[in-house]
Amino acid sequence: MDIKSAEFVMSNSDVAKCPKALLPEYAFIGRSNVGKSSLINMLTNKKSLAKTSGRPGKTQLINHFLINKNWHLVDLPGYGYARVSKSSKKTFQKFITQYFGLREQLVSAFVLVDIRHEPQTIDLEFMQWLGENGIPFSIVFTKADKLKPQAIENHVVAYKTILLETWEDMPNYFITSATNDIGKDAVLNYIDELNGNMKLH
């Protein structure tokens, strides 16, 4: 898939106010500082479509972007914040769960995981929650440029080992790096394939 256009549509914290258009929607989510904004900018060929920040927890709203005039990329808040009060954190977690529970346009989620780290409980718990709620998702391993190929493989195997204790199959996954475009075509072609399997309104 070639990205010909990528435009910001809206930010909000109320799922009911998300775009009404019945366009297929793909949600990107991950822990703070996992490289989500950088990945979104890489996928869309825009240097600053999603705001990148050295401060974790920058995305605190549901952000919709219209891609190629026919599908939405959704940038969701991380589910682990560094510098946010507990009361705010609860609110974010609530509207994340509301988004996944109420958003009929959602086709699939992409859960971003920093490949440099051992499997994190919060990531595993979030994937478990998606599975229990019947929400399709893929894992996107980020920052692959920081590791050698063998180390990447070892980390993926570590994830598989843990996930297969509770899952029948390893969820669909991608290896990516926003620094050198690793995985860009694979993710976009996957979205293109899913879009092709449905009628676009």
**Which domain CATH number covers 24?**
3.40.50.300
1 in any annotated domain: no
101 in any annotated domain: yes
pLDDT at 80: 63
Q: Average pLDDT, stretch 23-52? A: 91
Provide the residue range defining the domain that includes 140.
6-196
136 in any annotated domain: yes
Read off the pLDDT of residues 130-157 as tens digits, 9 standing for 90 and up. Answer: 999 999 999 999 999 999 999 999 999 9
Q: Output the average pLDDT for the chain.
A: 89
Dihedral-angle region of residue 33 (phi above 0 means left; psi in -120 to 50 means alpha; beta otherwise): left
Which residues are paired to 29 by β-bridges?
Answer: 111
Q: Average pLDDT, stretch 7-29? A: 94
Determine if the pTM surpasses 0.75: yes
pLDDT at 49: 87
CA dihedral 161, 162, 166, 172 (to 10 degrees): -70
- Percent of the chain having pLDDT more than 70? 88
User: Number of folded domains in the chain?
Assistant: 1
80 in any annotated domain: yes
Joined together, the tokens standing for residue 103 give 């958003």
